Chain A
Amino acid sequence: EPEVTQTPSHQVTQMGQEVILRCVPISNHLYFYWYRQILGQKVEFLVSFYNNEISEKSEIFDDQFSVERPDGSNFTLKIRSTKLEDSAMYFCASSPVLAGEQYFGPGTRLTVT
């Protein structure tokens, strides 16, 4: 069964550093998303992406965040200058059609020290 993959599984970085989280969505999917989950809290939507542009973003997704699909397979989330409060599990998801179910990856645990 096709699945969304994410790398790395765990990233430790120092406050103020830039990080790039990588995702490979399912190959024939057209819609891509990033969510995050702070330990013990709810899963929160960050951004959705379609046709090489952002289609929706939340208040969390401020100027420190950016997304990119640099080639035909990868989908990345960049955090320019990490803060302690960015520590969370970051999930990538993809879906084949509008309103289709979203397939989530295993997540990247980001720890900012």
Chain B
Amino acid sequence: LAKTTQPISMDSYEGQEVNITCSHNNIATNDYITWYQQFPSQGPRFIIQGYKTKVTNEVASLFIPADRKSSTLSLPRVSLSDTAVYYCLVGDIPNAGNMLTFGGGTRLMVKP
């Protein structure tokens, strides 16, 4: 599984766009990039997954450059309720027994 590096913490204010970048220099051809969100005392929650270029859903966008060595999770107009830990996961998910390998994540604090 590719090692990921993301900032330990970030601060933002309500209404701002937040971009969290994850580095994965050793990403393999078969690897997908997946982001999960975890609120305190809750289980992680899937946000978005992509392989290349841009993926958008109702919650977030995921930008992946052509070399796929990094990715950026973009949260538009955050609110206080977006305060959580955000995990970037990279792996050959279909062939890895489905296990998810979580790193330390990025602790996002949204302030009023």
Binding site for B on A (CB under 8 A): 4, 31, 33, 35, 42-45, 48, 55-56, 58, 89, 91, 93, 95, 98-99, 101-107, 109
Return A6 CB to nearest CB of chain B, in Å: 9
Main secondary structure of the interface of B (DSSP, over half): loop
Q: Across the interface, do B94 and A98 meet the contact criterion of CB distance under 8 Å? A: yes
Alpha-carbon separation in the docked complex, A102 to B46 (Å): 7
Q: Across the interface, do A43 and B44 meet the contact criterion of CB distance under 8 Å? A: yes
Interface flag for B15 (CB, 8 Å): no
Q: Across the interface, do A107 and B43 meet the contact criterion of CB distance under 8 Å? A: yes
Question: How many residues on B have C-beta within 8 angstroms of the other chain's C-beta atoms?
Answer: 23
Q: Across the interface, do B99 and A33 meet the contact criterion of CB distance under 8 Å? A: yes
Binding site for A on B (CB under 8 A): 32, 34, 38, 41-46, 49, 87, 93-94, 96-105
Main secondary structure of the interface of A (DSSP, over half): strand
Q: Across the interface, do A56 and B98 meet the contact criterion of CB distance under 8 Å? A: yes
Q: A43-B38, A43-B44, A58-B99 are in contact. Are A101 and B94 (CB under 8 A)?
A: no
Alpha-carbon separation in the docked complex, A56 to B98 (Å): 8
Q: Across the interface, do A56 and B99 meet the contact criterion of CB distance under 8 Å? A: yes
Q: A33-B98, A56-B98 are in contact. Are A107 and B103 (CB under 8 A)?
A: no
